[in-house]
Every structure is written in C-alpha cells, then in structure tokens.
Amino acid sequence: MKGNIIIAGLGLIGGSLALCLKREHPEAVIYGIDTNKEQAQLAKALQVVDHICEDLAKAAPLADLIILAAPVSQTIKLLSFLKSLSLKKDVIITDTGSTKEQIMHHAKKMNMEGSFIGGHPMAGSHKSGVAAAKDILFENAFYLLTPFEDKAKIDSLKNWLRGTRAQFVEVSSEEHDKMTGIISHFPHLIAASLVKQADRHSASLPLISRLAAGGFRDITRIASSSPEMWKDITLHNDQNLINMLETWKSDMDRIIMMLKNNDEDDILDFFQSAKAYRDQLPMKAKGAIPSYYDLYVDVPDYPGVISEVTGFLAEDRISITNIRIIETRADIYGVLVISFQTEEDREKAINCLQKQTDYDVFIP
C-alpha cells in the first residue's frame, strides 16, 4: 500500500511498528516524531523511519495513517491537537495505549468516531527505546482493537498492520481495561509491592538481597518496568484497579483467618485451585506480559566456563539478550541464566548445549 504514515512516539512499540510497516508496505513513506530529539535522530539513523517529522501540524494533513505510540495522557492531548487540523477525509488514526476507556471517551467527545480506532499491541521487551525495535516483536501476539462502528476503516487498519503478524481481536474499551487490569496492570502493582516488602526488611535481614537473586528476582522482574509509564497506566485504569485491590484485600484477610485457625483443608484448596487454573493456561501463546525466554544451565565453577558456554552458542550463531549467574561457588554447581529473544532461539540453544556439553539444561 502506498501512502504517508506518521508515527508519534519512537520507542520500542512505535519503532517496531515502523519496521513492520516498512517490511510489508515498502512503497509507503514513514515519518517519525518524538519529544526526545535524540530518539528521533536515532530512528532516522537506524532507518526505522524514512524522515523526521519536524512539524506535526504541517505533516498530519498529508497523512493516510497516524499512529500515536505515546503515553495515554499524551495521546489524549495529541487527539485534541489533530482534531484542530484539516486532515484527509479517509485518514486513519490509531494509538497503542495500555488503557482504552479514557482515550475512546475523548475521541468520541472530539467527534472522531469516523477516523479513530483504539489499539493496543500486547507485546514488549525487557529493553526499551527505538534501538531495541524489531519487526518480529508482535508476531503471534494479541493486538487488541477498540473500534467504533466503521468496519471499512477497521479492515483498512488491519491491512496496514498485517506486517505485524499479530492476532487482531476486537473488544470494547471497558472489556479491554478490565482484562488488561487483571492480567497486566494488577500484577505489576503486586510485583512492586513484593519488592518493597523485601526492601522494607533488607536492613534488619541483610541476606535478603542475596537470597532474592534467584526465583524472587524472576517473579518480580516486571517491577523493573518504567515507573513513569506505570504511573500513567495506573492512574488511567484506577477504578478497575481499586476494585481488584479490594478483592485482593478480602482474599488476604481470608488467608489470615486460615492461618490463625490452622485450617489445613482450606489452605490446601487455596494452593490446589490456583495450581489447577495456572496449569491449564497456554504455555506458548503470547499474553499481556512479555515472555522472557530464559534458559537455566547448571555449570561447574571453573575459570572460563561462561565464555565456553557462550562460545558454543556463538558458533551456532545463536543470539542472546542477557546472561547472569544465580549462584556459583567453589566446588558447587551454579546456575547460569541465559535469556533469548525468541522461543526458537532458546530451542536452538538447548540442542546446541546438549550436543556440546553434559551440563544440565532446563527451562524454569
């Protein structure tokens, strides 16, 4: 498809969408704009976008597709600004915000039902910024759309975005915010509270930070996400989160009573019912929280063992995104944690290391 595309916000999501659009629609011209001028320059240097948009007011009237890959509060401001311009009659405007109700309400208030389609690509990475952008980020991920009623516009947007190879699902903005609140926003709050709990006791129990380097660090890794971004998300999904936190408080009160009453049956049922639901969740499908393709390798503690392992992977041209040691002491095996960009890379690494070494290799 030919046309002019503007992407406002050149972070991981905006940059990755630009790469998908360039791959699928090479004749389209992509303009990028970002409040961070260095990010915009980097996007141009990396050929993520074709041009830097210096003046949105001048460029927007020429656009066929405008993607607002910005925080929710900024997206609302951008919608108001775009409404003041003389845009093409058939222009499509979409966003990538993690909450939808306030954005959709604002778009309706601005009488933008004929041009705006809410969007939320549910994919991410442990890295951020346009330098981390990749055209495979959204493959097989859910891409939620919260449209108004214009089916032709919806189909046109899906056509523009088909290079993402995502699974498009249409939901209402209310459904969107409840669902993402449950399986993304609420878990981020809980992860942050768990980390703060550990921090609260770290002065009196100094070993906590060392013991937390393993499983605790893994289950709370989402707490390392951008505080500014999560402040924005939390404030824009406040009522859903308040409701969930009230229910959570009730659950915790019930557990307190179980413990006080030494109620073995109820405690067992609590863990069994949680395990039963979690075990039936899809293992390989992408969800709201980005997957981390980690591989654990039990290695002996001797000089050069890490370079040996990474050397085998390099020989097979397998890229890694992160590497760390959970534990390594003299004469005791330690766990080397290697992170990969895709499940396919992790499977290749398993085959490689099983072929080259006798180390225990396992997926956590």
CA distance 244 to 219: 20
Domain boundary among 220, 254, 279: 279
Yes or no: say if 294 and 321 are a contact pair by the CB < 8 Å rule: no
pLDDT averaged over the chain? 90
Same domain, 88 and 189: no
The pairing of beta strand 142-146 with beta strand 116-121:
antiparallel
pLDDT single digits (tens) 83-136? 999 999 999 999 999 999 999 999 999 999 999 999 999 887 667 789 989 998
Same domain, 164 and 33: yes
Question: Is residue 288 assigned to a domain?
Answer: no
CA atoms within 13 A on the CB side of 260: 6
Same domain, 238 and 317: no
Same domain, 263 and 130: no
Same domain, 226 and 314: no
Asked whether the predicted pLDDT for residue 2 surpasses 50, the reply is: yes
DSSP state of 137: T
Asked whether the predicted pLDDT for residue 197 surpasses 70, the reply is: yes
The number of distinct structural domains making up the chain is 3
Asked whether the predicted pLDDT for residue 291 surpasses 80, the reply is: no
CATH number for position 314: 3.30.2130.10
Asked whether the predicted pLDDT for residue 287 surpasses 80, the reply is: no
pLDDT at 331: 41
Distances in whole angstroms, Cα of residue 346 to Cα of each of 1, 90, 136, 248, 362: 35, 44, 16, 35, 10
Same domain, 304 and 266: no
Yes or no: say if 340 and 293 are a contact pair by the CB < 8 Å rule: yes
Residue 13: both structure tokens together = 């999501």
CA distance 52 to 33: 6
Same domain, 139 and 188: no
pLDDT single digits (tens) 314-345? 999 998 888 887 654 444 456 788 888 778 88
DSSP state of 163: G
pLDDT at 27: 96
- In DSSP terms, 335 is beta-bridged to 298, 327
Banded model confidence at residue 240, pLDDT cuts 50, 70, 90: very high
Mean pLDDT, residues 226-244 taken together: 92
**For residue 333, what is the enclosing H or E element?**
strand 332-340
pLDDT at 175: 96
Question: Is residue 287 assigned to a domain?
Answer: no
Question: Is residue 345 assigned to a domain?
Answer: yes
pLDDT single digits (tens) 131-165? 989 998 898 889 999 999 889 999 999 999 999 99
CATH number for position 12: 3.40.50.720
Question: Is residue 285 assigned to a domain?
Answer: no
Banded model confidence at residue 9, pLDDT cuts 50, 70, 90: very high
Question: Is residue 284 assigned to a domain?
Answer: no
CA distance 335 to 39: 37
Domain boundary among 118, 145, 171: 171
Per-residue DSSP letters for 68-120?
Answer: E-S-HHHHHHHHHHHHTS---TT-EEEE--S--HHHHHHHHHTT-TTTEEEEE
CA distance 63 to 203: 56
Same domain, 161 and 210: no
What number of H helices and E strands is found in the chain? 15, 12
Q: Which has more pLDDT, 327 or 223?
A: 223
Same domain, 301 and 205: no
Q: Tell me, what amino acid is at 205?
A: L
Domain boundary among 124, 155, 171: 171
The domain in which residue 103 lies consists of 4-171
pLDDT single digits (tens) 29-75? 999 999 999 999 999 999 999 999 989 999 999 999 999 999 999 99
